[in-house]
């Protein structure tokens, strides 16, 4: 499948529900990631129940790795290892729109990424944000994940229209890595930042994560 049809179709959802692209927490770079993740979402609306994050979905490109590279960006390695300790085994899952997709036909990139990180890479046929059911199936089929509903999952990534939007479509929490490893002045990135700034100024907030599998 050329490009990212899932992204193209799903971005149209923003016209009816613009808050789908808003994150629950924003950090500048991966090394600022709060661990445990639950602490990032404490007391969002004052007295509501605190978040109970049991598993984390990690984007790769411009999140913890330089785009097109399949190893951890060295200045982030300490935080990456802390994250692995806090979310061991199947509780941590890498979901990339390059490694493990149709852009990586024989899975060589995904294999290399798994060897370099010690973390499982999801093999998925639909690109983000359309692969939420494949992600939830992974957690459902891995009893050690402890995940029983989507609101126990946090998605971390640098793209509002893929990573954060997928988190909201799943009913999970979204963490936006705003600047990433390298500065991206691309049209889509500027559009994302413009749209999110516009929405926040008008009082839009990220949707409430909900419980229960879809």
Stretch that binds Mg ion, among 48-56, 100-108, 109-117, 158-166 (CB under 5 A): 158-166
Taking each continuous run of H as one helix and of E as one strand, the counts in the chain are 7, 6
CA nearest to 153, candidates 88, 81, 91, 214: 91
CA angle 199, 136, 99 (to 5 degrees): 80
Nearest CB to Mg ion, comparing residues 186 and 203: 186
Nearest CB to Mg ion, comparing residues 90 and 96: 96
Nearest CB to Mg ion, comparing residues 158 and 192: 158
Nearest CB to Mg ion, comparing residues 143 and 186: 186
Q: Find the binder of Mg ion among 40, 95, 121, 158 (CB under 5 A).
A: 158
Stretch that binds Mg ion, among 8-16, 27-35, 142-150, 153-161 (CB under 5 A): 153-161
Q: Are 23 and 13 in contact (CB under 8 A)?
A: no
The alpha carbon dihedral of 62, 67, 69, 73 has a sign of: negative
Question: x/- contact string, 42-61, with Mg ion (CB under 5 A)?
Answer: -----------------x-x
Stretch that binds Mg ion, among 45-53, 117-125, 157-165, 203-211 (CB under 5 A): 157-165
Which two structure tokens, joined as six digits, stand for 167? 């988190």
Name the residue number minimizing CB distance to Mg ion.
61
C-alpha torsion 185→189→192→195, nearest 10? 20
d(CA 126, CA 100): 10
- Minimum distance, C-beta of residue 61 to Mg ion, in the bound complex (Å): 4
Stretch that binds Mg ion, among 49-57, 114-122, 152-160, 205-213 (CB under 5 A): 152-160
Stretch that binds Mg ion, among 19-27, 80-88, 117-125, 154-162 (CB under 5 A): 154-162
Question: x/- contact string, 62-81, with Mg ion (CB under 5 A)?
Answer: x-------------------
Give burial (CB, 10 Å; 0-12/13-18/19+) of 103.
middle
Beta bridge partners of 154: 56, 173
Nearest CB to Mg ion, comparing residues 84 and 178: 178
Beta bridge partners of 55: 153
Residue 29 as a binder of Mg ion (CB under 5 A): the answer is: no
Other CB atoms within a 10 A radius of the CB of residue 77 amount to 14
Residues in contact with Mg ion by CB under 5 A are: 59, 61-62, 158
């Amino acid at each position: 499948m050329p490009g990212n049809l899932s992204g193209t179709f799903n971005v149209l959802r923003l016209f009816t529900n613009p808050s789908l692209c808003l994150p629950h927490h924003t950090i500048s770079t991966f090394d600022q990631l709060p661990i445990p993740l639950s602490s990032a979402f404490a007391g969002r609306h004052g007295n509501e129940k605190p978040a109970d994050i049991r598993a984390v979905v990690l984007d790769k490109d411009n999140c913890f790795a330089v785009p097109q590279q399949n190893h951890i960006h060295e200045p982030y390695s300490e935080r990456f290892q802390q994250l692995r300790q806090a979310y061991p085994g199947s509780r941590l899952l890498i979901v990339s729109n390059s490694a493990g997709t149709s852009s990586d036909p024989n899975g060589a990139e995904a294999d290399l990424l798994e060897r370099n990180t010690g973390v499982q890479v999801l093999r998925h046929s639909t690109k983000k944000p359309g692969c939420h059911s494949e992600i939830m199936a992974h957690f459902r089929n891995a009893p050690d994940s402890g995940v029983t509903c989507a609101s126990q999952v946090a998605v971390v990534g640098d793209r509002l229209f893929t990573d954060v939007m997928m988190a909201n479509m799943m009913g999970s929490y979204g963490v936006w890595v705003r600047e990433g490893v390298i500065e991206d002045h691309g049209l889509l990135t500027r559009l994302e930042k413009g749209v999110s700034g516009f929405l926040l100024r008008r009082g839009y907030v990220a949707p409430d994560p909900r419980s229960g599998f879809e």
